[in-house]
């Protein structure tokens, strides 16, 4: 995102942003003058910071008159940090990691600069349309993605094949639940289930929100049509309710860490719906033997009973909202730095061979990355809903009650509608 800054009572594009755009166009920037732009981003892991430092070095070598000042912040503190800086008259030039609702708020408050005039139709054409749709407010584009990620079904193919099941043959939700039932077992005979047929990623409310969004999309509906599509939404709730016998109920789904290091590495789960490449990249760093194609495979999520097309699907999660530095980060070259260890392309012109050459996984990464690469065109982005933090907490509570058999799909639907109507009124 490009932020606006008030100078002498006039609202204009940030100085750093103008440098990005005008370095090659304006003769006033020629010479040795060095411009510094401030890039605010969420704090990352050591490998993320290492990759970002490499990006800065590459960019500054090609643009010696521009310096990038990275300011790291805990993810949860990003909005507060920006608003405090803006109030003091010194907001960052570019920010990464702002979700849809906050982006819409910033756009409504006229705090950020539309990007439509900075990205040509050709430049925009390389991004998957479903990616850019997340960042359009009132017909204007306010952010662009560096990478994306996809939520879909991930399976352990060897376990399915040992049970006589072709991992690529899962037809629909009923078939998926039948397989989950078959693969939920007490393997050591102690009376306790130690292999679950299905698992969900569960961190606060956002992953549960994504789970419901994915299930709605492959069932021909959307969370944004909660009240209009009662039948489709109730079917989604019924699927979660029926799956309760095959998931680790005590945990209400695995946290990301447990999904990576316990569920998949110890073989406690045969199928799950986590964030795709995240599973591979984490497990590969733990042990390359855990992330081979015969042990872990992405599969498009099968369609629900009300799907009009009968086609499987995935859920697109867009990241890195952040025009020369912005274009570098979100272009085919800048994307490689991130893709070498995380996420999948948000555009169609990224050279996968260069990604593989930079990745520590090397050729082992190819089968995984190529599995996801073509899905950006067909994946459905997360629906924009009002006050998602509050609605996510309701989704989380409904999910927990369904898994623990404390409610019915019909009552769960009424709870969601009641919350939705209250948020609409507010």
DSSP string, 378-425: TPEEPPP-SSHHHHHHHHHHHHHHHHTTSS-HHHHHHHHHHHHHHHHH
What tens-digit pLDDT sequence spans the chain (426 residues)? 554 443 222 222 222 222 222 111 222 333 346 788 888 888 777 877 888 888 899 889 988 888 889 888 887 788 888 878 776 777 788 888 766 677 778 888 777 888 888 888 888 888 888 788 878 888 888 888 888 878 888 899 989 999 999 988 899 999 999 999 999 998 888 888 888 999 887 766 678 888 898 899 899 998 888 999 999 999 999 999 999 999 886 655 566 667 767 777 788 888 988 777 777 777 777 788 877 888 888 888 899 999 988 888 887 654 333 367 787 788 888 888 778 777 888 888 888 898 888 888 889 888 888 888 777 777 777 655 555 678 888 998 999 899 899 999 999 999 999 999 988 887
Per-residue pLDDT at 171: 92
How does strand 140-141 pair with strand 136-137? Answer: antiparallel
- Report the candidate in 388, 264, 334, 321 with the shortest Cα–Cα distance to residue 1: 321
> Is the whole-model pTM more than 0.85?
no
The CA-based dihedral angle spanning residues 74, 79, 85, 87, taken in that order and rounded to the nearest 10 degrees? -150
Give domain 2-146+319-373's CATH architecture.
3-Layer(aba) Sandwich (3.40)
CB 326 within 8 A of CB 319: no
| Domains of the chain by residue range | 2-146+319-373, 151-315+382-425
Per-residue pLDDT at 383: 58
- Report the candidate in 106, 130, 5, 66 with the shortest Cα–Cα distance to residue 327: 66
Per-residue pLDDT at 414: 96
Q: Which helix (H) or strand (E) holds 2?
A: strand 2-7
How does strand 35-42 pair with strand 94-95? Answer: parallel
Per-residue pLDDT at 382: 66
151-315+382-425 is classed CATH 3.20.20.140: no
- Report the candidate in 174, 132, 206 with the shortest Cα–Cα distance to residue 395: 206
- Report the candidate in 318, 330, 316, 317 with the shortest Cα–Cα distance to residue 2: 330
**What residues contact residue 248 under an 8 Å CB cut-off, 6+ apart?**
196, 199, 254, 268, 269
CB 89 within 8 A of CB 12: no
Q: Which helix (H) or strand (E) holds 72?
A: strand 66-73
Query: Token digits for 322?
Result: 């952040």
* Distances from the Cα of 27 to the Cα of 17, 23, 30, 294, 298, angstroms: 16, 8, 5, 57, 51
Distance CA 36, CA 16 (A): 7
* Distances from the Cα of 425 to the Cα of 109, 229, 268, 419, angstroms: 21, 20, 44, 10
């Amino acid at each position: 995102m490009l932020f606006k800054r008030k100078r002498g009572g006039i609202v204009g594009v940030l100085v750093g942003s103008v440098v990005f755009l005008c370095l090659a166009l304006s003769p006033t920037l020629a010479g040795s003058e060095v411009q510094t732009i401030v890039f605010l981003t969420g704090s990352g892991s050591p490998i993320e910071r290492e990759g970002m430092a490499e990006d800065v070095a590459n960019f500054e070598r090609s643009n010696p008159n521009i310096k990038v000042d990275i300011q790291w912040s805990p993810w949860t503190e990003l909005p507060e940090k920006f608003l405090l800086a803006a109030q003091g008259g010194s907001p960052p030039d570019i920010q990464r990691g702002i979700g849809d609702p906050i982006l819409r708020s910033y756009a409504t408050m006229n705090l950020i600069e539309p990007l439509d005039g900075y990205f040509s139709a050709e430049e925009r054409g390389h991004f998957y349309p479903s990616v850019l749709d997340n960042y359009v407010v009132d017909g204007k584009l306010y952010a662009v993605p560096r990478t994306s990620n996809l939520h879909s079904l991930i399976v352990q193919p060897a376990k399915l094949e040992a049970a006589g099941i072709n991992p690529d043959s899962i037809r629909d939700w009923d078939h998926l639940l039948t397989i989950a039932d078959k693969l939920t077992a007490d393997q050591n005979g102690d009376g306790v289930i130690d292999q679950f047929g299905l698992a969900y990623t569960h961190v606060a409310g956002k992953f549960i929100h994504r789970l419901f969004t994915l299930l709605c999309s492959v069932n021909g509906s959307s969370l944004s049509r909660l009240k209009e599509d009662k039948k489709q939404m109730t079917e989604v709730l019924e699927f979660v309710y029926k799956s309760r016998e095959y998931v680790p109920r005590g945990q209400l789904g695995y946290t990301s860490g447990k999904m990576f290091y316990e569920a998949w590495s110890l073989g406690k789960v045969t199928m799950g719906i986590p964030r795709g490449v995240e599973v591979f990249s984490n497990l590969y760093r733990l042990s390359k033997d855990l992330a081979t194609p015969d042990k872990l495979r992405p599969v498009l999520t099968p369609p629900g009973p009300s799907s009009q097309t009968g086609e499987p699907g995935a859920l697109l999660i867009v990241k890195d909202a952040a025009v020369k530095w912005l274009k570098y980060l979100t272009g085919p070259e800048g994307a490689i730095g991130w893709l070498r260890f995380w996420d999948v392309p948000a555009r169609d012109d990224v050279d996968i061979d260069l990604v593989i050459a930079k990745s520590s996984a090397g050729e082992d990464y190819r089968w995984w990355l190529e599995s996801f690469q073509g899905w950006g065109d067909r994946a459905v982005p997360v629906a924009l809903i009002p006050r998602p933090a509050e609605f996510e907490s309701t989704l989380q509570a409904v999910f927990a009650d369904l898994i623990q058999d404390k409610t019915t799909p019909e009552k769960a639907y009424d709870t969601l509608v009641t919350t939705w109507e209250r948020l609409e009124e507010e």
